[in-house]
Amino acid sequence: MAVAKSLLYYSANTYLSHYINTTFYNDQHFVWCSPVFDPTRLEAQDPRRRIPKSSSPLSIYKTYQDDVASGDLHSDAIKRNRLGLKSGAAHKLKEDIIDGDEYQMINDIVDAALITDFAPLIYLIPESMVANKIKRVSVSAQANPLSTEYMVENLLKGEFEILVF
């Protein structure tokens, strides 16, 4: 079965992640994305159906939505997002994109963030806007070796739309 080229990529993110990228990183966003929103809706033979829940934009969105709605202070997804945001800040500090004061401020914001700050967002990313910079994720970094996953390291403000539902 030949898989058609994707016209859109989808990425699930948190409001806090968007805020930090917008405020501190000159509106540059690092995103993992998928060529399908809900892999479970695909035909059984479609190779993209192998995208697991942990990489499915719909599943990720629902996880954050449920954890925020229930006020889950032990949410694994939110813990991972906090760690990822801190790791990203360390990376940006090392690259001289932010200074030490901004690094500390980001860490303070992440530590003080409320559960509601992890409300989910979906980024709709037109393939035509990122064709020259979207990268296939290595098999070793994918959630499943048969998955179809991508990343954009420097997604800019005008290259995506935000969807909240």
Q: Give a yes or no: residue 17 inside a domain.
A: yes
* The model's pTM: 0.91
**Number of compact structural domains in the chain:** 1
162 within a domain of the structure (yes/no): no
The pLDDT of residue 34 is: 93
**The two structure tokens encoding residue 49:** 């159906």
| Residue with the two structure tokens 């805020």 | 19
Which domain, by its residues, includes 77? 8-42+52-157
Q: Is residue 56 part of a domain?
A: yes
- Res 127: pLDDT: 95
CB 78 within 8 A of CB 118: yes
Domain contains 164: no
The pLDDT of residue 39: 87
CA dihedral 87, 163, 27, 108 (to 10 degrees): -40
Collapsed DSSP state (helix, strand, coil) of residue 160: coil
Q: Is residue 105 part of a domain?
A: yes
Tens digit of each residue's pLDDT, the chain (165 residues): 555 678 999 999 999 999 999 999 999 999 999 999 998 888 888 778 788 888 899 999 999 999 999 999 999 999 999 999 999 999 999 999 999 999 999 999 999 999 999 999 999 999 999 999 999 999 999 888 888 889 999 999 999 999 988
Whether residue 47 lies inside any domain: the answer is: no
- Cα(118)–Cα(13) distance, rounded to whole angstroms? 8
* Domain membership flag for residue 100: yes
pLDDT of residue 2: 52
In a domain, 88, yes or no: yes
d(CA 46, CA 6): 13
